[in-house]
Amino acid sequence: MNDNVIDSSKDITILELLDRVLNKGVILTGDIVISVADIDLIYLGVKLMLSSVETMEQLKNSNQHPKRDE
């Protein structure tokens, strides 16, 4: 792990942030105003990032073993 463990992955941090602001916190019922299409857009973004999270181990390995200059 890097010395700076906080925010060690930008993608994960954004995903975590969106997960919190869209799915957690206090709900003021009856005030969901974004259209279905827009919600889908936001959640699509989250899902895309979720799939990118799954490649994190590969990214980490490639960082640990940088390619040699040809």
Partner 1 sequence: MSKLIYAFVEANSSPPELGLLLKYMQSISGTTLAAIRVNGVTAIVSDLNRADLVADKLSAIAYAGIIEELAKKFTVIPVRFPSFLGSSSEVEEMINRNLEGILDNFRKIENKSEFGLKIFCDKQVLKETLKQKDNETIGKPEGSELREGSPSVYREWVDKKLKEYQLEEQVTAYVNSILTVINESVEPIQAGCKFRKMVSETLILDAIFLVRKQQKTVLVEMVKSLEAQFCVLTFVLTGPWPAYSFVDFTVK
> Which residues of the chain form contacts with partner 1 (CB under 8 A)?
1, 5-9, 12-14, 16-18, 20-29, 31, 33-35, 38-39, 41-42, 45, 53-54, 56-57, 60
Main-chain phi, psi angles of 54, to 5 degrees:
-65, -15
Q: Contact at 8 Å (CB) between 11 and 52?
A: yes
Main-chain phi, psi angles of 2, to 5 degrees:
-65, 165
- Smallest gap from residue 37 Cβ to partner 1 (A): 9
- Smallest gap from residue 25 Cβ to partner 1 (A): 4
Q: Contact at 8 Å (CB) between 13 and 20?
A: no
- Smallest gap from residue 22 Cβ to partner 1 (A): 6
